[in-house]
Amino acid sequence: MGLIMRIIVKLLYGLFFMVCFTLLLILFTLHVQLPLAIAQIPLSGIVLNGMRLIIALWGMADTWQRGRGLPMRVFPPVQLVVTGICAWVAQPIYSGFVLLCLGVALFFGSATGTPLVALLVALGTTALVLGYERPYRLRTFGILPRPVFGLTRLLELLGRSLWPTGQWPREKQRFCHPEYEMARRPVAP
């Protein structure tokens, strides 16, 4: 298979995944009804979708320009991106997708979309990040980015604020940030 054909197949894979996954979410939301009353809050939905658009597009642009790759597993970046939006938000594209699901659900007042679909998408993206993205980044780049609003940074802040002396012991830092030691190891050639 030639180079052009491989690129076309990878692009079709990404497009197929985006379209099919979106259609499955829409069908799930339409056919599963929960006995809840959710208020329709269009302004919140618009604000969340605006934030999503900024976060996701900025993440895609950073991945393209700084990482020299596409934000798809079939065209991964060749450099780890730790600046721009990635310095602030862990996984900006996945975070933007979760905000999209929540924003659309709030905009339409969907009882299924707000508590169920947004939660399932958040759990699914978390599983994808922890099960695939994180090990891939550690294998490929040897380190992980530590964004301001990343889980490990927030856990460190919480631990320091709850610790009586204000100084957090080194072993607690390793517990909260498992890649703490791995991020400081030299990368094997």
Mean pLDDT of the region 82-93: 85
- The count of other CB atoms within 10 Å of the CB of residue 10 is 15
| Sequence-distant (≥ 6) Cβ neighbours of residue 128 within 8 angstroms | 94
Q: Could you give the percent of the chain with pLDDT greater than 90?
A: 0
Q: Which residue has the higher pLDDT, 169 or 41?
A: 41
Q: Label residue 1 by pLDDT band (50, 70, 90).
A: low
Q: State the pLDDT at residue 85.
A: 87
Q: Label residue 101 by pLDDT band (50, 70, 90).
A: confident
| Domain residue extents for the chain | 39-147, 148-178
Rounded CA-CA distance 9/13 in Å is 6
Q: State the pLDDT at residue 166.
A: 52
User: Could you read off the pLDDT of 132-146 as tens digits, one per residue?
Assistant: 888 888 888 888 777
- Mean predicted lDDT score pLDDT of the chain: 77
User: Could you read off the pLDDT of 171-183 as tens digits, one per residue?
Assistant: 555 444 444 444 4
- The count of other CB atoms within 10 Å of the CB of residue 63 is 24
Instruction: Burial-class residue 114 by CB neighbours within 10 Å (0-12, 13-18, 19+).
Output: buried
With beta carbons less than 8 A apart as the criterion, state whether 76 and 10 touch.
Answer: no
Instruction: Burial-class residue 171 by CB neighbours within 10 Å (0-12, 13-18, 19+).
Output: exposed
Q: State the pLDDT at residue 182.
A: 43
Mean pLDDT of the region 56-68: 88
| Tokens found for residue 110 | 């969907």
Q: Is the pLDDT of residue 107 over 50?
A: yes
Comparing CA positions, the residue from 65, 72, 112 lying closest to residue 94 is 72
User: Could you read off the pLDDT of 4-55 as tens digits, one per residue?
Assistant: 887 788 778 777 877 888 788 888 887 888 887 777 888 888 888 888 888 8
With beta carbons less than 8 A apart as the criterion, state whether 68 and 32 touch.
Answer: no
With beta carbons less than 8 A apart as the criterion, state whether 51 and 106 touch.
Answer: no
| Tokens found for residue 138 | 């550690």
Give me the amino acid identity at 130: L
With beta carbons less than 8 A apart as the criterion, state whether 96 and 55 touch.
Answer: yes
SS3 75: strand
